[in-house]
Amino acid sequence: MGTYHLATGASGVMIHTEQYWVNFTHAQETAAGSNLGVRRLFSNISKLVLKHQLSTDITEEYLLHSPEIVITDGVTFHSSKDSDKLKICAEAFNPDEEDEDTEPRVVHPKTDEQRCRLQESCKDILLFKNLDQEQLSQVLDAMFELRVKPQEHVIDQGDDGDNFYVVERGLYDIFVERDGQSRCVGRYDNHGSFGELALMYNTPRAATIVATTDGALWGLDRVTFRRIILKNNARKRKMFENFVESVPILKSLECSERMKIVDVLGEKIYKDGDRIIAQGDLADCFFIVESGEVKIMMKSKQTKTTQESNQEVEITRCTRGQYFGELALVTNKPRAASAYAVGDVKCLVMDVQAFERLLGPCMDIMKRNITHYEEQLMALFGSSMDLRDPGK
C-alpha cells in the first residue's frame, strides 16, 4: 500500500502519491499572503482531518476506488474524467488578519454532570490538543449541548457554516449530493468531530450530516472557534518553529525537514515531581525540553546502596533545548532510565513513528551519544553498563 506526501507552496497545499495528487489551492492568495507559518498551519490541520476523520491514509488504491471523497464538510475531493487528478478549492482563513478578540465571551452554563460528559467527549479532539488549561476552559464554557433524533439533519450541504460539532454519542451518516443524486459516503460512530473546515475556509457545507439514532452533540460557535482554536494553533506553530530552529541536534536538518518535525510535535506539561518516563517501560515517544528542568534517574544493581534500598541515582539533568527518551528508540529496548520534572516543565513530544521517519539524519549523533552515556555511568557506578541492552 502506498503512502502520501504533503507539501505547501504559494498556491496552496499539494498531497501527492506516485500516481495521483490533490491540490489544495487558495481561492484568495492574499488570505495566506506570504505567511508560510499560516499556510503550514492549515496544511497540518487538513492533514489531520484526512488521516483521522477518514481513518485512512491517502493511497493510490484509496483514491482509485473513491471517485469522490468527502472530508467532513467544507472540503470535497472530486475526481476528474479528463485526468488522474483530484482538486480541492477553498478560501483560507488567516488567524493573523482576523480581529474577533473584541467579541463578548460566549458562556453556556452547564451542570457538573454535563461538563464531565463534555470533557470526556473532547479529550481526543485533535484541534483541542494544544490549548492551555484556560483556553480549553473557555472552549468548554462556550460549547452547547444538542440532542438529536433519528433522521434529524445536523448540517445541510450548501448551508453556511455556523458551528463546529463534537460527537458525544449516536450514529451520523454523511451524505453528498451530486448531479441531483444523494449518496452516503461515510459515518460517524459515537465519536469524532465535524464542521471545522467550513469555519476555517468560509465555504458552504459540502455534505449533509443526518442522525440515524438518538444522539448527543456538542456545538461550538464560529467566533469562539476562530478566536481561540485557530489563533492558538497559529501562535503555537510559530512558537514551535522558532524553538525547533534553536535545538542543537536539529540544526543539521534542512528547513523543510524541521518544518515536518513541527507538523508532528505535541506538547505536554508536567508538575514538579511528575514522572515523565519510567525505567523498564516500553518506549513510545521522544522528548525535547521546551521549558523547565528534567532530572534523569537510574536504578542500578552495581552498588550496594541501590541494591539494598532500591534507590534511584541521578545521572544528569536536561534543560531547554536538550532532549531525552531517544535511547530506547535508537536501541529498540525498554527505557534505560526514568525522567522526572523538576518544577514546572513543558516538553515537546514526538511519537516513535514520526521519530523513525523524520530523525534519520540525526540518528548517527544519537548513536554516538550512547558511548558517552556509558562512560558517564562507568564514572558514576564504577563498572560498565551496556545501554544497548539495559537488561544485562
Alpha-carbon 78 to chain mean position: 26
Residue 239 predicted with pLDDT over 90: no
Structure confidence at residue 270 (pLDDT)? 95
Structure confidence at residue 333 (pLDDT)? 82
Q: CATH second-level architecture of 247-381? A: Sandwich (2.60)
Phi, psi of 276 (to 5 degrees): -85, -45
Q: Rounded mean pLDDT of 141-148?
A: 96
Structure confidence at residue 320 (pLDDT)? 93
In contact, 207 and 134? CB cutoff 8 Å: no
Residue 205 predicted with pLDDT over 60: yes
Q: Rounded mean pLDDT of 201-211?
A: 88
Q: Rounded mean pLDDT of 154-159?
A: 94
- For the chain, the average pLDDT equals 72
Residues 30-48 pLDDT 10s: 233 334 444 444 445 444 4
Query: Rounded to whole angstroms, how far apart are CA atoms 84 and 68?
Result: 12
Residue 387 predicted with pLDDT over 60: no
Position 146 confidence tier, pLDDT thresholds 50, 70, 90: very high
Residue 368 predicted with pLDDT over 70: no
Structure confidence at residue 379 (pLDDT)? 53
Structure confidence at residue 81 (pLDDT)? 35
Q: Rounded mean pLDDT of 238-258?
A: 84
Q: Where are the beta strands (DSSP E) in 190-278?
A: 193-194, 208-211, 215-221, 266-270, 275-277
Domain ranges within the chain, ordered by starting residue:
5-90, 97-227, 247-381
| Percent of the chain's residues with pLDDT above 70 | 63
Query: Rounded to whole angstroms, how far apart are CA atoms 366 and 41?
Result: 29
Q: Identical fold at 97-227 and 247-381?
A: yes
Position 90 confidence tier, pLDDT thresholds 50, 70, 90: very low
Structure confidence at residue 377 (pLDDT)? 54
Cβ partners under 8 Å of residue 360, min gap 6: none
Position 277 confidence tier, pLDDT thresholds 50, 70, 90: very high
Structure confidence at residue 252 (pLDDT)? 74
Q: Write down the CATH superfamily of domain 97-227.
A: Jelly Rolls (2.60.120.10)
Q: What is the pTM of this model?
A: 0.53
